[in-house]
Amino acid sequence: MEVSQPFPILKLPFVALWNVIKSMERKELIDLSFTSKRLVTIIKSIPIPNSDIEIGITNLQSSFFPQQNIQPLIMTEDLQERIKHLGGKFDFNESTGKEIIQFEYSKAFIDYICALYRSEIFAVQIDVRIPIPLLTSVLEWMNDRQPVLTSCLIYGDCKDNETIDRFFQKRILPIRQLHLNLKLSPEAKTFNFGILEMEEFTARHRDINTLNPIPNWITVETVLTSNCIIMCIGASPFTVTDLKRIIKGWINGNNPRMEYFHVEVKKFNLRSLLKGIEYEKRETTFERMYIPENKSYKIQRPVTKRTISGGYDIRRSDGTVATFQVLSRPQNPTALWKFVMVIWKKTVDS
Amino acid sequence: MSCEEPTTSPTPENNITVVSSDGKEFLLDLKLTEQSETLARLISNFEYDRTDVKKDPVPLGNITSAQMQKIIEWLQHHRYYPKWEQNDIHYSTSFTFETWVEEYLNIPNNEMFELLNAANYLNIPRLFSTICRIMASRITGKSAEQIRTVLNIKTDVKNDVYTGIPIQEDSSSSEDGMSEISLSPSPPPI
């Protein structure tokens, strides 16, 4: 095939030019933007579909890169050269560490891509093993660069509390959806979450069942002081007393916008939980369905539809009704029990 | 056969005649013209789908006979395809094409450019979107300089983003290389 003849893209009618550009994958579009300032202006004028920008902060490179699909773009020397000539000012000297250099290049590159797509960073994935100074720098940068982050995932083997504590200490920008997917060490201490104020908070932990002690990574105060719409907590150290405090706390006005609460706990005495709580027991034939409001997040949502059969209805002073139930898996005695509470604000009777 | 060329005989009932810019006539089955929004709208407006209406040849002043031949080949192949829907597959990163399409569009970039303009003029969405995606894929993995060559882009940056080496300023005016903005193809003159 003859390929030497050019395809004069700028001579296309504007609608055709838009469509050629909209057909490009992210990497092609970024490469195209490097060719001419005029094309940068044109690209910026086009509403690009699927322009959500995600970044992954990993331990592997001690830096972070804009993600394209699953594979991160690797900060190669070639890419650094390109970034250098995008107009960014880098004040490096001989003593500047490689980690800082990569961080500065990555920042400049992400800012360039965000400007090109006229978009903010939509989602961030953080490997919990990244160096603390890098995490601090990233959070300070994120706090300054945009008003809100839609989704954030923190994952990996969590050897100590430092990364998570630092994350919640340094993070100022609001996060709409936060998901922790951690492997906790048995010695893990209580994380300093501060006040969890986000639409969705999910914490899942690997390799924890009733045969092993559950670390005290979260306290009931964290739940009582939180202000989440959906909260799903896996493998918690909560006792029956803690669950009772959560129920009574909700009745007394805590967690005002909570719609769905799910926590995994070790076995407990259900009679002790119900003692002292005013409730109405529902028959299991009485089914109600919870469907959360449809929202655009990056991370898979912990609940999309939930049918509650029976349960115990409780009522807050403003008349709002919630139903809680405790679920076990009789065929698997080592499995944790699940405590589920649904607040009936947006419901569809089945 | 749904397409023949050229013809001067009385127009058969289910066909219309289109005339390319170089004066060649093509007899087009009305079924094929459904894929072109421009032709379909024209046929509807002039009621050329009625047997009792006299059908004048439709001049396509922007399309050469070679391009028309190529387009008819496309229309023939997609004759029984369902109507094209502008959905997410257009933007899918895993968008792949059938072998026939790959072979059909295995043409030089300049011919691809002309075909895209023709598809845009006749408003054939499936062909138009396919060419857009294939053109986009032709710059994959190329350097800025290689992309400039493929897409005939005159640089307006001072330093090459790869090498940092100053780029020779192009002497042409800033309007050079720009096309007139048109949001939709002009209706064919009748």
pLDDT per position as a tens digit, B107-130: 998 899 999 999 999 999 999 988
Give the pLDDT confidence of A223-279 residue by residue, as tens digits.
Answer: 999 999 999 999 999 999 999 999 999 999 999 999 999 999 998 999 999 999 999
What does the pLDDT read at residue B104?
A: 95
Supply the DSSP string of A18-48, one letter for each residue.
HHHHHTS-HHHHHHHHTT-HHHHHHHHTS--
From B113, B116, B157, residue closest to A37, measured CB to CB? B157
Mark yes or no for CB contact A34/B116 under 8 Å: no
Domain ranges in chain B are 12-83+92-138
Q: What is the dihedral of CA A328, A329, A334, A335, to 10 degrees?
A: -70
Pairing of strands A175-184, A200-205: parallel
The closest of A210, A323, A203, A228 to A268, measured between CA atoms, is A210
Supply the DSSP string of chain B, one letter for each residue.
--EES---SPPPTTEEEEE-TTS-EEEEEHHHHTT-HHHHHHHHHTTTTSTTS----EE-TT--HHHHHHHHHHHHHTTTSPPP---GGGG-TT----HHHHHHT-S-HHHHHHHHHHHHHHT-HHHHHHHHHHHHHTTTT--HHHHHHHHTPPP--SB-TTT-PBPPPP-S-TTTT-----SSPPPPP-
What does the pLDDT read at residue B177?
A: 39
Q: How far is B105 from chain A (nearest CA, A)?
A: 10
- Nearest chain B residue to A82 by CA distance is B161
What does the pLDDT read at residue B178?
A: 36
Residue type, B153: I
Over residues B43-63, the mean pLDDT reads 85
Handedness of CA A31, A35, A39, A40 (dihedral sign): positive
The answer to whether the pTM exceeds 0.80 is: no
pLDDT surpassing 50 at residue B188: no
- Nearest chain A residue to B156 by CA distance is A36
Mark yes or no for CB contact B156/A7 under 8 Å: no
What does the pLDDT read at residue A67?
A: 57
What does the pLDDT read at residue A65?
A: 59
* Residues whose CB is less than 8 angstroms from the CB of residue B129 and which lie 6 or more positions away in sequence, other chains included: A19, A23, B84, B86, B90
Residue type, A232: C
Over residues B97-109, the mean pLDDT reads 90
Overall CATH class of domain B12-83+92-138: alpha beta
Cis check for the bond before A6: say yes or no (omega within 30 of 0). no
What does the pLDDT read at residue A43?
A: 92
Mutate to test the interface with A, among B153, B169, B178 (most CBs of A within 10 A): B153
pLDDT surpassing 80 at residue B4: no
What burial letters (b/e) apply to A128-158, b meaning 16+ CB within 10 Å? bebeeebbebbbebbeeeeeebbbbbbbbeb
Give me the interface pTM, i.e. the ipTM.
Answer: 0.70
What does the pLDDT read at residue B95?
A: 59
For the beta carbon of residue B144, count every other beta carbon within 10 angstroms.
Answer: 24
Helix (H) or strand (E) holding A155: strand A149-158
CA distance B49 to B16: 9
Which residues does A contribute to its contact with B (CB < 8 Å)? Answer: 1-17, 19-25, 27-28, 31-32, 34-39, 49-50, 69, 78, 81-82, 84-86
| Ranges in chain A, pLDDT < 70 | 1-4, 59-76, 78, 85-89, 208-211, 346-350
What does the pLDDT read at residue B157?
A: 63
B18 against B91, higher pLDDT = B18
pLDDT surpassing 70 at residue B58: yes
What does the pLDDT read at residue B181?
A: 33
Mutate to test the interface with B, among A19, A37, A42, A116 (most CBs of B within 10 A): A19
CA triple A191-A197-A199, angle to 5 deg = 115
CA distance A13 to A82: 30
What does the pLDDT read at residue A75?
A: 64
Pairing of strands A260-265, B58-59: unpaired
* Residues whose CB is less than 8 angstroms from the CB of residue A275 and which lie 6 or more positions away in sequence, other chains included: none
Tokens 């109507």, located at residue: B83
From B110, B156, B182, residue closest to A6, measured CB to CB? B110
Cβ–Cβ < 8 Å for A324, A341? yes
